Amino acid sequence: MTAETMRLTIRRPDDWHLHLRDGAMMAGVLPYTARQFARAIVMPNLAPPVTTPDAADAYRQRILDALPEGMDFTPLMTCYLTDETVPGQLADGFQRGSFVAAKLYPAGATTNSAHGVTDIANIRAVLAEMEKQGMVLCVHGEVTRADVDVFDREAVFIEDVLIPTLADFPGLKVVFEHITTKDAVDFVLAAGDNVAATITPQHLMLNRNALFEGGLRPHAYCLPVVKREEHRRAVRRAATGGSPKFFLGTDSAPHARHAKESSCGCAGIFNAPFALETYATVFEEEGVLDRLEAFASVHGPAFYDLPLNEGTVTLEKAPAMVPDAVQAGEETLVPFCAGMTLGWRLA
Ligand code: NCD
Ligand code: ZN
Ligand code: ZN
């Protein structure tokens, strides 16, 4: 990394957790990611979900077809696990490169998770095969039981699901996605090298007060929901502390403005337009801009056993105004930090 007074040049980063959606929405949001990131782990929670190698290949092709001329971006596809996932088909999809990882959505945990896994016991043979293959399991780590408080769902998931699963499959590679709590940070740090986590901009920047600041704030709502300040601080220390177990995953999750500003608003924050700028702001606030490159561009590929990117991106210390809204196809989207001015912009 070379840091001059006002410029920061880092190896080109990747986004290890991204929702691109499909159709016109996908075509509209894709350039925001591709201008910053060389690769992204593309989440499979479409309707219907991406559950087969052929569906992943077709989705990858739709993404590549929608990529504007001259942009260079590689989608890394994932398989949506269900109670019916066949271990052999998953392994074939991994070996032929259709899937880079598989995603565990506990049924009912989040957007388009209705087809997700109803009980981890139903995918034991799948997990055994993934452990054997060295295939990464990406996890939305929240229990869905109605008797568990929504702010405790991640912590309970660690005890009820992650600890027993890793006891049974100690070599399984797990990415605990979009972590939000000190509990998750402590768990990942204490686990073996086969366990890592992604961290989003919103969980670095917001605590749960943001949901209610002067009124109900649907654009601060995502899952797992933002937590208390002590948890935000722990997640910040994890992201900026230099451990290779933590890396960049935006969880950029576009939903049309009308679907967010609703009596039952969708979960998901569309942070792709200024993702790198928001992370840079956080690393600067913590006084460790020199660690941004490892978090954004090195730890992720190392965990996934993929090569580092060759190119670079340059951020400059200059005001970046985040617009109130952007268009994607016919839809209006409200980006994360809408209306704010960030201290960094992509050169
Ligand atoms: C994501 C989405 O909208 O697809 N929403 C979210 O709040 N994070 C799903 C997810 O990552 O859980
Ligand atoms: Zn999730
Ligand atoms: Zn997500």
Residue with CA closest to ligand 1 atom 9: 111
CA angle 306, 310, 315 (to 5 degrees): 115
Q: Is the pLDDT of residue 23 over 80?
A: yes
Ligand 1 site, residue 267, Cβ cutoff 6 A = yes
Tell me if 1 is assigned to some domain.
Answer: no
pLDDT at residue 148 is higher than 60: yes
Among 14, 15, 183, 251, the active-site one is 251
324 within some domain: no
What CATH number does residue 302 fall under? 3.20.20.140
pLDDT greater than 70 at residue 2: no
High-pLDDT (> 90) share of the chain, %: 98
Q: Which one of 110, 115, 153 would you pick to mutate in the ligand 1 pocket, going by the greatest count of ligand atoms within 8 A of its CB?
A: 110
What residue numbers bound the domain in which 304 lies? Answer: 14-311
In a domain? residue 287: yes
240 lies in a domain?
Answer: yes
How far apart (Å, rounded) are the C-alpha atoms in residues 330 and 347?
29
Q: Could you tell me if the CB of 17 is within 6 A of ligand 1?
A: no
Average pLDDT, stretch 158-182?
98
41: left (phi over 0), alpha (psi -120 to 50) or beta: beta
- Kindly report the number of other CB atoms within 10 A of residue 25's CB atom: 19
Our answer on whether the CB atom of 331 is closer than 6 Å to any ligand 1 atom is: no
pLDDT over 70 percentage in the chain: 99
Using one digit for the tens of pLDDT, what is the confidence trace for 176-235? 999 999 999 999 999 999 999 999 999 999 999 999 999 999 999 999 999 999 999 999
Residue 231 lies in a domain: yes
One-letter amino acid at 288 equals: V
Q: Is the CB of 222 under 6 A from ligand 1?
A: yes
Q: Known catalytic residue: 183?
A: no
337 has pLDDT over 80: yes
Q: Each residue of 119-141: b (16+ CB within 10 Å) or e?
A: ebeebeebbebbbeeebbbbbbb
Q: How many angstroms is it from 111 CA to the middle of ligand 3?
A: 8
Which residue among 45, 46, 140 is best mutated to probe the pocket of ligand 1, counting the most ligand atoms within 8 A of its Cβ? 45
C-alpha distance from residue 52 to each of 61, 81, 94, 103 (Å): 14, 10, 11, 12
Judged against a pLDDT cut of 80, whether residue 122 lies above it is answered with yes
The domain total for the chain is 1
Single-letter residue type at 92: D
> What residue's CA is closest to ligand 1, atom 11?
251
Measured in residues, the chain has a length of 347
328: in domain: no
pTM: 0.98
CA angle 1/278/2 to nearest 5° reads 10
* Residue 110 alpha carbon to ligand 1 centre in Å: 6
**Amino acid 5: pLDDT:** 57
Q: Is 251 in the pocket of ligand 1 (CB under 6 A)?
A: yes
Residue 144 lies in a domain: yes
Nearest atom, ligand 1, residue 105 CA = 12
- On the question of pLDDT at 4 being above 50, the answer is no
Average pLDDT over residues 112-122: 96
| 256 φ/ψ angles, rounded to the nearest 5 degrees | -55, 145
Span from the CA of 194 to the centroid of ligand 2 (angstroms): 20
Q: If you ran DSSP here, which 8-state letter would residue 297 be given?
A: I
Longest dimension (CA), the chain: 55
Tell me the pLDDT of the chain averaged across its residues: 97
Amino acid at 7: R
245 assigned to some structural domain:
yes
Atom of ligand 1 nearest to the CA of 254: 3
pLDDT digits (tens, 9 = 90+) for 45-86: 999 999 999 999 999 999 999 999 999 999 999 999 999 999
